């Protein structure tokens, strides 16, 4: 009984605080939360009405006094208070069956590469205010590489392309550090916006965000598919204002996504050009690894491989690589201390995190 109680005090969580989805890994239990980073609130009272899946169901369907908010933009906190409440909700959801109290866990959070010190402090503060005892920040490509089981601590070049909801991060990792990197605000959300814009320009059709996302997932591709695919696209006609349904092909959606795909591919090439030749030789031999939800866009790996002339593979379960990486770090405290970003958290009584 005492050991079980002690375990409550030693609670530890790994969090992938993403623009599109938040995933939470609980030490000894695995991934317990995988929900959209969406919060629904009453704008009159400020009361939180729903978080995660329940809130996403409300997107585009709410009356004027209810707003659905995505508190992260391009992996950066844009609404501190809502982010804090969302994190608190997820932490309490994990420990709802805890005996007598909610533990104050040690938390490892994946963050974008180009985060400023102010933005880093915002993530730490949000996690601490949501109930964390101690916060460690890890660069997302590093966490993704660990989750994909790449040998990041060895003197070997590992190239990771992490395509999330708000950002694509390209990094070359060796000896537990990022050697060269690129970060761009074009990822899964940009793909959705491309489809919305295409429908507007080509068919005078106004699409909802969720409809565009569904089209992307079902028939979206970066490279030609073995067999043509068609699906119905439903929205509102801009001219008549009435509902309208159009049949679209995979070729049309590929055309809509082409510019964003080209930008990602060009940045992968640019990152390779900046990489020391010894590491490029390793990458040529070992290949590029893709992670994140955007890596599941059909044919994107083959397009990058063809242009970069290097083998490319999509990691197993790419959507969870970052959070699985944070989970591995919860079990390897020495590596965590080695690669965690400096912390800005300090109080008069000592540290509340790391420096």
Q: Clarify whether residues 121 and 94 are in a common domain.
A: yes
Cα(268)–Cα(249) distance, integer angstroms: 28
Q: What is the pLDDT of residue 299?
A: 96
299 shares a domain with 229: no
**What's the gap between Cα 170 and its chain centre?**
13
CA dihedral 159, 161, 162, 167 (to 10 degrees): 130
- Beta bridge pairs of residue 351: 346
Are 23 and 107 within one domain? yes
> What is residue 59's predicted lDDT score, i.e. its pLDDT?
83
Query: 52 with 116, same domain?
Result: yes
- Cα gap 47→63, rounded to integer Å: 15
Domain count, the chain: 3
Residue 115, in any domain of the structure: yes
Both 314 and 175 in one domain: the answer is: yes
- Asked if residue 210 and residue 122 are part of one domain, the reply reads no
Please report whether residue 235 resides in a domain: yes
Which residues constitute the domain of residue 314?
153-186+258-319
Cα–Cα distance, 317 to 148 (Å, whole number): 9
Domain assignment present for residue 148? The answer is no
Verify that 87 and 178 share a domain, yes or no: no
3-state class (DSSP) for residue 5: helix
Six-digit token string for 295: 């890596």
> Edge-to-edge strands of the sheet including 30-36?
30-36, 21-26, 12-17, 106-111, 134-139
Can you give the CATH number for the domain in which 229 is found?
Answer: 3.90.640.10
* Domain annotation covers residue 147: no
Across-strand partners of 232? Answer: 247
What is the CATH number for 23? 3.30.420.40
β-bridge pairing 106-111 and 12-17: parallel
Residue 134, domain member (yes or no) = yes
Distance, in Å, from the CA atom of 229 to the CA atom of 245, rounded to the nearest integer, reads: 16
237 domain-assigned:
yes
Global pTM value = 0.89
Q: Measure CA 227 to chain center.
A: 30
The structure tokens listed for 107 are 């938390």
Asked if residue 64 is part of any domain, the answer here is: yes
Measured CA to CA, the distance from residue 21 to residue 18 in angstroms comes to: 5
- What number of helices (H) and strands (E) belong to the chain? 12, 20
Q: Residue 157 and residue 177: Cα distance in Å, rounded?
A: 10
Domain identity same for 174 and 235: no
Q: What are phi and psi of 28, to 5 degrees?
A: 75, -5
Shared-domain flag, residues 346 and 307: no
- Using CA atoms, how far residue 26 sits from 184, 226, 256, 324, in Å, is 30, 40, 39, 10
What pLDDT, on a 0 to 100 scale, did the predictor assign at position 5? 37
One domain, residues 262 and 233: no
Same-domain check for residues 168 and 314: yes
**Among 256, 280, 299, where does a domain finish?**
256
pLDDT at 260: 97
Domain annotation covers residue 308: yes
Q: Please list the pLDDT of the chain residue by residue as tens digits (355 residues).
A: 333 433 444 689 999 999 999 999 998 899 999 999 999 998 888 888 999 999 998 887 888 889 999 999 888 899 999 999 999 999 989 988 765 466 889 999 999 998 889 999 999 999 999 999 999 999 999 999 999 999 999 999 999 999 999 999 999 999 999 999 999 999 999 999 999 999 999 999 999 888 999 999 999 999 999 999 999 999 999 999 999 999 999 999 999 999 999 999 999 999 999 999 999 999 999 999 999 999 999 999 999 999 999 999 999 999 999 999 999 999 999 999 999 999 876 533 333 443 3
Token pair recorded at residue 206: 């106004």
Phi/psi of residue 151, each to 5°? -80, 70
- Give the three-state DSSP class for 205: strand
């Amino acid at each position: 009984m005492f050991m079980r109680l002690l375990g409550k005090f030693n609670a530890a969580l790994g969090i992938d605080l993403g623009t599109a989805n938040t995933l939470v890994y609980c030490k000894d239990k695995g991934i317990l939360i995988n929900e959209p980073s969406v919060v629904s609130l009453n704008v009159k009272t400020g009361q939180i009405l729903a978080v995660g899946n329940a809130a996403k169901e409300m997107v585009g369907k709410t009356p004027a006094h209810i707003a659905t908010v995505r508190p992260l933009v391009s992996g950066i906190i844009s609404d501190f208070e809502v982010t804090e409440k969302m994190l608190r909700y997820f932490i309490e959801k994990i420990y709802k069956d805890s005996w007598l109290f909610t533990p104050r866990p040690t938390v490892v959070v994946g963050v974008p590469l180009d985060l400023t010190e102010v933005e880093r402090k915002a993530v730490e503060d949000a996690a601490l205010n949501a109930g964390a005892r101690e916060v460690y920040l890890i660069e997302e490509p590093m966490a993704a590489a660990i989750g994909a089981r790449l040998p990041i601590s060895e003197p070997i070049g590992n190239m990771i392309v992490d395509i999330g909801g708000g950002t694509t991060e390209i990094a070359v990792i060796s000896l537990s550090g990022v050697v060269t990197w690129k970060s761009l605000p074009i990822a899964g959300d940009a793909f959705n916006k491309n489809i919305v814009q295409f429908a507007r320009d080509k068919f005078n059709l106004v699409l909802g965000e969720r409809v565009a996302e569904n089209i992307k997932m079902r028939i979206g591709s970066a490279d030609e598919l073995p067999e043509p695919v068609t699906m119905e696209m439903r929205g509102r006609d801009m001219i008549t204002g009435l509902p309208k349904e159009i049949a679209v092909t995979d070729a049309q959606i590929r055309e809509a996504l082409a510019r964003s795909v080209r930008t990602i591919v060009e940045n992968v090439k640019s990152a390779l050009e900046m990489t020391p030749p010894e590491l490029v030789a390793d990458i040529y031999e070992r290949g590029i690894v893709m992670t994140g939800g955007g890596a599941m866009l059909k044919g994107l790996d083959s397009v990058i491989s063809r242009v970069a002339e290097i083998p490319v593979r999509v990691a197993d379960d790419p959507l969870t690589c970052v959070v699985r990486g944070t989970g591995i770090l919860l079990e390897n405290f020495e590596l965590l201390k080695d690669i965690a970003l400096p912390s800005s958290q300090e109080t008069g009584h000592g540290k509340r995190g790391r420096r």
